[in-house]
């Protein structure tokens, strides 16, 4: 079993293949989450608790999973005035998770970086949702398009002192030189070949994501919606391991 959430993170290049798979526990309540983690067993070492489960009473699971030796990504995508983001981040830091997301607005990222203080919590800036394409960004009032918006927010994330970014694995190769070697690139929108895309737009296979330089892969429905979630997770870990060998 990997180290607990509070353990010092290993360097980006040394992360074992299994620990690079983050399974999104997008289920309605704690009972469903526990049922899924039981089914996945030792196949999965890193879980993501997002809005659905958190608002369904799932936040205590952060500490519970961490106590079991799992790493936990608290995906709450904070965005509010600085004072609120800073104080909320400080509260979340006490839960025992490894990652927390905030939207990649400069003020918001700076506030979260202050709020986590000396805790081991790492802040990830969400650049542009992987369910958005250029047309949907334009509809929301952003004329610059996905590529330029992600690049702008990556530069701002570096300046704000956060630890990493959430972005599509189609963008990681272009963004790495902007953020430098130290920052973590975490990629949702992952779909094994032939899997249902659902509402995601900018999708990449697990192997391609690793070849593109992603550090962590967030996968929800392709694992949790599979007939055999454990086998689906193992297949993704094997694909990650093979891609790492070739990297």
Positions touching ligand C5P (CB under 6 A) are 24, 26, 50, 126, 129-130, 166, 188-189, 198, 200, 218-222
What tokens appear for 30 in the block?
A: 């704690």
Q: How far apart are alpha carbons 67 and 117 in whole angstroms?
A: 22
Residue closest to ligand C5P (Cβ): 220
* 200 labelled ligand-binding: yes
Q: Find the shortest distance in angstroms from Cβ 241 to ligand C5P.
A: 20
Kindly list the catalytic residues: 77
Residue 131 phi/psi, 5° resolution? -90, 0
Complex with ligand C5P: residue 97 or 188, whichever CB lies closer: 188
* 48 labelled ligand-binding: yes
Identify the CA nearest to 188 among candidates 64, 65, 50, 85: 50
Complex with ligand C5P: residue 7 or 51, whichever CB lies closer: 51
What tokens appear for 126 in the block?
A: 């969400």
* 91 labelled ligand-binding: no
Q: Report the b/e string of 123-153 with b at 16+ CB within 10 A.
A: bbbbbbbbebebeebeeeebeeebeebbbbb
72 - beta bridge partners? 47
Complex with ligand C5P: residue 3 or 213, whichever CB lies closer: 213
* 81 labelled ligand-binding: yes
Q: Report the b/e string of 52-71 with b at 16+ CB within 10 A.
A: bbbebebbebbebbbeeebb
Taking a C-beta distance cutoff of 8 angstroms, is the pair 129, 153 a contact? no
* 221 labelled ligand-binding: yes
Complex with ligand C5P: residue 111 or 209, whichever CB lies closer: 209
Would you list which residues are annotated within the binding site? 26, 48, 75-84, 130, 191, 200, 220-221
């Amino acid at each position: 079993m990997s180290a607990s959430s509070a353990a010092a993170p290993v360097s980006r290049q040394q992360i074992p293949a299994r620990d690079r798979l983050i399974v999104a526990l997008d289920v309605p309540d704690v009972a469903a989450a526990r049922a899924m983690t039981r089914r996945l067993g030792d196949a999965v070492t890193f879980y993501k608790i997002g809005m659905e489960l958190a608002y369904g009473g799932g936040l205590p699971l952060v500490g519970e999973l961490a106590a079991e030796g799992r790493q936990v990504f608290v995906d709450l995508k904070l965005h509010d005035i600085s004072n609120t983001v800073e104080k909320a981040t400080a509260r979340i830091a006490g839960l025992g998770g490894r990652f927390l997301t905030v939207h990649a607005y400069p003020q918001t990222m700076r506030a979260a970086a202050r709020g986590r203080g000396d805790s081991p919590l790492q802040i990830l800036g969400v650049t542009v949702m992987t369910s958005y394409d250029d047309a949907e960004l334009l509809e929301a009032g952003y004329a610059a398009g996905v590529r330029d918006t992600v690049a702008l927010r990556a530069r701002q994330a570096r300046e704000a002192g956060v630890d990493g970014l959430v972005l599509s694995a189609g963008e990681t190769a272009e963004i790495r030189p902007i953020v430098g070697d130290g920052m973590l690139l975490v990629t949702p929108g992952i779909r094994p070949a032939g899997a249902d895309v659902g509402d995601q737009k900018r999708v990449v296979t697990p192997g391609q994501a690793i070849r593109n330089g992603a550090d962590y892969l967030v996968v929800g429905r392709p694992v949790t919606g599979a007939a055999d979630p454990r086998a689906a997770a193992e297949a993704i870990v094997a694909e990650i391991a093979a891609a790492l060998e070739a990297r």
